[in-house]
Structure 1
């Protein structure tokens, strides 16, 4: 099994940063699905007056999706990989979007402080060493009744979905990653999904972190049963239960 953690994983993302956008663009629905998850936050007034956190922004695809859903919001985008963050920062952004280099576990040390009206986290939680700690930190950063949307590869638990994920990775994702010299990273990404929570298990994990109103919504296409949006709220009842 190839599972990378912490500095090793960040270094692998650094190395893959220049080719990452090109590879994910070949994934049908990749950007559309990110936009769908961001829209599911249902941020009012185009985000006017809101402060949003894009946690694990990578090369900025999730930031662009969040900006599309809330064009008037202030967005703080954070990633642990300096290489991925450099690719994100090099793209054209309007005022109100800022980038911070920091691991999800050490936001306060990097000066990232709440409250945020919403947090968007795409492809993050299966790549952190302690997802429970990160979920609790996210909960603490949210304003009362703040919203969380997690966009993540989390298998449904059905054998057919696991077989589809395995086939796509073995036939397409891993060979493409190997050609770019990033085989270890893409092998890690396969196992990070196969060995992570099912969709129901991650929903339960989110509830244990103090969130309420947790919902799990699917994606269309071949990703049905493989990619989900998790929506949750940091309302007062959740705060009282902590």
Structure 2
């Protein structure tokens, strides 16, 4: 599933945050049916290699949705200060209703308007789960996230990317058509968001293309690792650092 943090892809009138407002009540139950969903978010957070349990660090979870990625970041860095932001008020309400330590703060903001919402760097690390695929101007967003990092700070983008693999593309088409879209329709009465999800994944950068996009936008030490299980070569952790 995606998180509701940005507008739809360019040329698409579909508004992702508004769509997630409508589906917020059923979101956790839907993603909970996805084997490995929470485990994979934790894996991406762990791949940020945040030292000393995050002690003394300030982290941003951008596109936090109902808080699943926030929980993953907290698991990897229990001693860090975490700012979690999302563009969907409905998703954010679900996140805020859960129990969190005082070190976690939630902010209602799209990624493009973080500064207007009072969210500014520098951050030692940023986790962006299912975010970049959903914004109109990914290069501008990546540049703004890099500028929000301290020198040497790490960005982890947890994201679907299937274009470089015929097998992964076929798996994604099959799972989204036979499981995700029907389940979304059953739980919410409207499959539009889940049809958008299928299409957006198929249209997004391949793995090599997204690594190159990170480099073009100023990130260093760029790498990627896939998830285990059925999402191998379907969901990946992309990491990059702000130049020192």
Which residue of structure 1 aligns with residue 203 of structure 2?
195
1:182: how far off? 3.2
1:141-220 residue pairs with structure 2 within 5 A? 141-155=148-162, 157-179=164-186, 180-220=188-228
Gapped runs of 5+ residues in structure 2?
A: 1-7
CA distance in structure 2 between the aligned counterparts of 1:68 and 1:98, rounded to whole angstroms:
15
CA distance in structure 1 between the aligned counterparts of 2:16 and 2:240, rounded to whole angstroms:
28
CA distance in structure 1 between the aligned counterparts of 2:88 and 2:17, rounded to whole angstroms:
5
After superposition, the C-alpha distances for 1:85-105 in whole angstroms (9 at most, x for unaligned) are: 000000000111000101111
1:9: how far off? 1.7
CA distance in structure 1 between the aligned counterparts of 2:14 and 2:56, rounded to whole angstroms:
36
Q: TM-score, normalised by structure 1?
A: 0.94
Is it true that 1:233 corresponds to 2:237 in the alignment?
no
The worse-fitting range, judged by mean Cα deviation, of 154-163 and 107-116 is: 154-163
1:8: how far off? 2.4
1:135: how far off? 0.1
Residue 114 of structure 2: which of 107, 113, 127 is its match? 107
After superposition, the C-alpha distances for 1:46-104 in whole angstroms (9 at most, x for unaligned) are: 10100000000000000000000000000000000000000000000011100010111
Which residue of structure 1 aligns with residue 5 of structure 2?
none
Gapped runs of 5+ residues in structure 1?
A: 237-242
Is it true that 1:223 corresponds to 2:231 in the alignment?
yes
Is it true that 1:57 corresponds to 2:64 in the alignment?
yes
Paired residues, number: 234
Secondary structure of the structure 2 residue equivalent to 1:150 = strand
Which residue of structure 2 aligns with residue 39 of structure 1?
46
Q: TM-score, normalised by structure 2?
A: 0.93
